[in-house]
Amino acid sequence: MKKTCSLAAAVILSSVLTQPCFSESESDVFKEALRNGELANEGFRRCDHYVEGWLRLADPETGLLPRNRKDQFWNAKDSAADNYPFMVLTTSFTNRPMFEGRMKAMLATEIKLTSRIDSLPDTYDFVKRGFQSEETDLDSIMFGSSEYIKDGLLPLAEWLGPSPWSERMISILDDMWKHAPVDTPYGKIVSTNVEVNGEMLQALSRIYWMTGKRKYLDWAVRLGDYYLLGNHHPTRDTSQLRLRDHGCEIVSGLCELYAAASFALPEKKKAYEKPIHEMLDRILEVGRNEHGLFYNVVDPLEGAPTNEGIADTWGYTYNGFYIVYLVDETESYRIAAIEALSNIKEHYRSYDWEHGSADGYADSIESALNLYNRERIAYAAQWIDSEIKVMWEMQKEDGVIEGWYGDGNFARTSIMYCLWKTQGVSVQPWREDLIFGAVQKGDTLYISLTAEKDWMGRLIFDAPRHKSNMGLPIDWPRINQFPEWFTVDEDKTYILSESKIRPIKYTGANLHQGVEVNLGKGEVNQITVHR
């Protein structure tokens, strides 16, 4: 079992430095950090309450989650993909005993009861105590498996690193391609469904780097060739391109493969370059409204929208543009993303995303947060702060938000927001009365903590997870990731100063492992960490 570090002296790497003395200007920064902590505290409390509410809806015999309040079945594409993983994520922050206990037990039960074709899951009926359908529908199973991987298990892998959930993800992915039913000139693929293939492109492009196994990149290349080199190009060969959820995945998926190929397969990257840019240029030409946000559906051949509603997942598509900007330095793609970020405050306050659904707010807020992490547009930050409160107000007294599987996205986005307000810092153990927030100024992180009662625990600093957990060559923006804010590199040295104790040097590994803090009732502790 790993030992934690202590501010007292446990991991002093050199002589103790001088006693810290925070300036008047720093005092204002600490006040800002405390305000951020109050917002993060509300977010974590709401997520914890969401878990409590949904656990009361779980099937009493199996412990699995129903699709919604009324349905008496569990399914992969909804229950597993959109709800359960974000209960796992929440409890990893707020309730470690539940994370280690009930959350892992739910996974074990799911594997035992729902695996139908090897590890591939199928819908489980709580009344029948068996599979809902007597017949095996491979297309349906592939769809549910793909959703579970991309929407649920992949975000867990990016945050948690190796875990039982990443093992489940790899098992399902391997069996999907083991049973891939569709013949193409480039090899078998799992589906002709554009959503499934977009999700597979995202998953395979990341999991190749995570595992180092070439087969995942090879499978992704089959899909890349199918869409970019064959006759299924998203803007050249189709009269309908969906730029909202359940369709937009193909754009960012192809861009993720393009990024992977640029580092691992330069000849394939060269082959993809023209069709990738053709796709993105046509989307910019015909797919945006006057504020730079994307229409729900466009006809790229006719050059007009067929559904002029605005996609709540607008940032998911801009992820792809930003990826190609990072790879090829195509400035117009970056400028397009900045334009959208700059317009949302003025034109999309309390907007009717998906007819007022919390899920629509979650996707749109996540769209902005992921891009804001790369481009610090002040208007976008102000919009995120205002819209998270609109979404939070949709939560009911029992903790449930709307009573369907999309409630999990409320927690996913809330935690993403909280990590922004703490700059990636988390605590163990978490408690409802504990407030902690952070602000980064240059190379220095300012942290404020306070609690209503005495608290002793660990401050845990985030690592560059795109490298440490996923092995990615660069931190390209990706759907359902948790952006990195202040991260500590394992081998670098940092100076930590606390209001009660003299500065101490730590390695990044020490900080990521966790630094012990003792907090007295009602006191405000102020800490800086300097690179």
pLDDT tens-digit map of 165-174: 999 999 999 9
Query: Looking at the domain assignment, is residue 322 inside a domain?
Result: no
Query: Looking at the domain assignment, is residue 41 inside a domain?
Result: no
Q: What is the mean pLDDT of residues 453-459?
A: 98
Chain segment 199-228, per-residue pLDDT in tens: 999 999 999 999 999 999 999 999 999 999
Model confidence, pTM = 0.94
Length of the chain: 531
The pLDDT assigned to 502 comes to 81
Chain segment 172-203, per-residue pLDDT in tens: 999 999 999 999 999 999 999 999 999 999 99
Q: What is the mean pLDDT of residues 139-148?
A: 98
The pLDDT assigned to 15 comes to 28
Percentage of the chain beyond pLDDT 90 is 94
Does residue 506 register a pLDDT over 80? yes
Average pLDDT for the chain: 95
Number of structural domains in the chain: 1
The pLDDT assigned to 91 comes to 98
pLDDT category of residue 406 using cuts at 50, 70 and 90: very high
Q: Round to whole Å and give the CA distance between 434 and 256.
A: 39
Query: Looking at the domain assignment, is residue 393 inside a domain?
Result: no
pLDDT category of residue 7 using cuts at 50, 70 and 90: very low
Chain segment 258-293, per-residue pLDDT in tens: 999 999 999 999 999 999 999 999 999 999 999 999
Q: Round to whole Å and give the CA distance between 172 and 119.
A: 6
Query: Looking at the domain assignment, is residue 67 inside a domain?
Result: yes
Q: What is the mean pLDDT of residues 462-484?
A: 97
pLDDT category of residue 114 using cuts at 50, 70 and 90: very high
Query: Looking at the domain assignment, is residue 130 inside a domain?
Result: yes
Q: What is the mean pLDDT of residues 243-263?
A: 97
Query: Looking at the domain assignment, is residue 16 inside a domain?
Result: no
- Retrieve residue 340's tokens: 């959208």
Q: Which domain range does residue 92 map to?
A: 57-179
pLDDT category of residue 10 using cuts at 50, 70 and 90: very low
Tokens 């595992």 -> residue: 211
Q: What is the mean pLDDT of residues 388-400?
A: 98
DSSP string for residues in 217-286: HHHHHHHHIIIIISS--TTTS-S-EE-STTTTHHHHHHHHHHHHHHHH-HHHHHHHHHHHHHHHHHHHHH
pLDDT category of residue 364 using cuts at 50, 70 and 90: very high
Percentage of the chain beyond pLDDT 70 is 95
The pLDDT assigned to 24 comes to 53
- How far is CA 62 from its chain centroid? 28
Q: Round to whole Å and give the CA distance between 372 and 437.
A: 18
Does residue 59 register a pLDDT over 50? yes
Query: Looking at the domain assignment, is residue 237 inside a domain?
Result: no
Query: Looking at the domain assignment, is residue 64 inside a domain?
Result: yes
